[in-house]
């Protein structure tokens, strides 16, 4: 079906227009789907307590029903209405990191639908920081269930155009506020485990959390756990956040990685493959002469810049029809840990080339 551009509405990212926010809130209140920007990525939102609306999220995204959704809240008071008991760490973390890119997994209240939590007794909660998301939550006065607004398994959307590409007419309204400021998803922290466990690294780092909580463990996200148990949905692979192209990762010093990427690009070209590369400033010269499609994110260590660009670059290289994307692997610390995680998933869980 051709896309109807009438479902895309531009909105000011800093001072969202009241009329637009009211219209979006009404769509949610009537059980519709609204794609909206958060500070991390665009979300595909529905009224979290409306079971039929929540089911629409799963069908629009083609998301397997076993993968639970994050519920977005207007404030801590709204979060408290969706939980039974919360550990003291919940208040401490919410006060310190909300609104912001931290999702807290806690025991759910009985009225939170099984469809949202994939029949778990826990719910994932987050108060987003983007002015458009905040205004929408305040206006609708509803908890909004929202996964990233991409088709399941694809890179998350950091622009409204990405939502249009993946979901188009399956969404009632898409709020276009330009690129999302952070570009990588929230950190998912499970507070029902002791010590707390990071299920997915993201916009709040392990180090920042440990400064508040003491030791925090790194765990596998739900998707990985389900795979381990052999309950994978039909047609699923270990790949996630993934472009159609194969992603090959490189580890080590920037100069070594650049040399290895150049050699690998030559070898792939000899096999007739079309190659794209993601590089830092330092790697650019060494790699550029070996492949035309090079996306540079900035200096090695400029992780905020890489976070903003990564998902968009994966989509662009895909649209150029590359067979293989070569990319250096950021270190496992700070914000880089989230980027490292997404790249490893985009590569299908395979380990990096040496």
Q: Which of 48, 93, 104, 124 forms a contact with ligand TXA (CB under 6 A)?
A: 124
Q: How far is the CB of 131 from ligand TXA (least distance, A)?
A: 15
DSSP string computed for 199-214: EE--SS-HHHHHHHHS
| Cα–Cα dist 221/203, whole Å | 16
User: Smallest Cα–Cα separation from 39: which of 131, 173, 148?
Assistant: 131
Q: How far is the CB of 199 from Mg ion (least distance, A)?
A: 13
| DSSP designation for 83 | B
103 binds Mg ion (CB under 5 A): no
Determine how β-strand 324-328 pairs with β-strand 246-250.
Answer: parallel
- E-strand spans in the chain? 8-10, 34-37, 42-47, 70-72, 102-107, 122-126, 144-145, 173-176, 187-190, 197-200, 217-218, 246-250, 275-279, 293-296, 324-328
38 binds Mg ion (CB under 5 A): no
| Cα–Cα dist 262/287, whole Å | 5
41 binds ligand TXA (CB under 6 A): yes
187 binds Mg ion (CB under 5 A): no
38 binds ligand TXA (CB under 6 A): yes
Pick 89 or 123: Cβ nearer ligand TXA: 123
Q: Which of 131, 143, 147, 243 forms a contact with ligand TXA (CB under 6 A)?
A: 147
Pick 136 or 184: Cβ nearer Mg ion: 184
Of 259-278, which residues contact ligand TXA (CB under 6 A)? Answer: none
Q: How far is the CB of 70 from Mg ion (least distance, A)?
A: 9
Q: Which of 148, 158, 205, 246 forms a contact with Mg ion (CB under 5 A)?
A: 148
Pick 198 or 265: Cβ nearer ligand TXA: 198
Pick 216 or 268: Cβ nearer ligand TXA: 216
Q: Each residue of 218-230: b (16+ CB within 10 Å) or e?
A: ebebbbbebbeee
- Total residues at interface with ligand TXA (CB under 6 A): 29
Q: Each residue of 249-266: b (16+ CB within 10 Å) or e?
A: bbbeebeebbbbbbebbe
Q: Which of 24, 35, 40, 53 forms a contact with ligand TXA (CB under 6 A)?
A: 40
The answer to whether the CB of 19 falls within 8 A of the CB of 173 is no
Q: Which residues bind ligand TXA (CB under 6 A)?
A: 38, 40-41, 43, 67-70, 101, 103, 105, 117, 120, 122-124, 126, 128, 146-148, 185-186, 188, 199-200, 221-223
């Amino acid at each position: 079906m051709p896309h109807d551009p009438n479902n895309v509405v531009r909105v000011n990212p800093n001072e969202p227009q009241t009329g637009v926010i009211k219209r979006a809130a009404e769509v949610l209140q009537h059980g519709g789907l609204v794609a909206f920007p958060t500070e991390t990525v665009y979300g595909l939102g529905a009224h979290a307590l409306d079971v039929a609306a929540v089911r629409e999220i799963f069908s629009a995204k083609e998301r397997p029903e076993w993968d639970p959704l994050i519920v977005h809240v207007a404030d801590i008071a709204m979060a408290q209405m969706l939980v039974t008991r919360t550990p003291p760490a919940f208040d401490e973390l919410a006060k310190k990191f909300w609104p912001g890119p931290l999702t807290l997994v806690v025991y759910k209240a009985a009225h939170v639908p099984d469809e949202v939590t994939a029949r778990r007794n826990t719910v994932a909660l987050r108060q987003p920081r983007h002015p458009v998301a905040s205004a929408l939550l305040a206006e609708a006065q509803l908890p909004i269930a929202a996964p990233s607004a991409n088709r399941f398994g694809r890179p998350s959307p950091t622009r409204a155009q990405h939502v249009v590409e993946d979901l188009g007419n399956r969404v009632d309204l898409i709020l276009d506020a330009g690129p999302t400021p952070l570009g990588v998803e929230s950190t998912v922290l499970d507070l029902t485990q002791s010590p707390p466990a990071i299920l997915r690294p993201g916009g709040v780092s392990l180090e920042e959390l440990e400064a508040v909580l003491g030791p925090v463990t790194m765990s596998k996200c739900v998707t990985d756990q389900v795979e381990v148990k052999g309950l994978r949905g039909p047609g699923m692979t270990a790949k996630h956040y993934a472009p159609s192209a194969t992603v090959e990762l490189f580890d080590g010093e920037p100069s070594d990685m650049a040399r290895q990427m150049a050699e690998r690009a030559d070898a792939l070209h000899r096999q007739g493959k079309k190659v794209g590369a993601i590089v830092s400033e330092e790697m650019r010269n060494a790699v550029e002469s070996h492949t035309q499609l090079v996306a540079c994110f900035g200096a090695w260590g400029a992780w905020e810049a890489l976070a903003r660009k990564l998902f968009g670059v994966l989509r662009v290289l895909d649209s150029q029809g590359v067979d293989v994307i070569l990319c250096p692997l950021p270190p496992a610390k700070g914000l880089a840990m989230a980027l490292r995680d997404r790249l490893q998933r985009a590569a299908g869980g395979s380990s990096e080339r040496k």
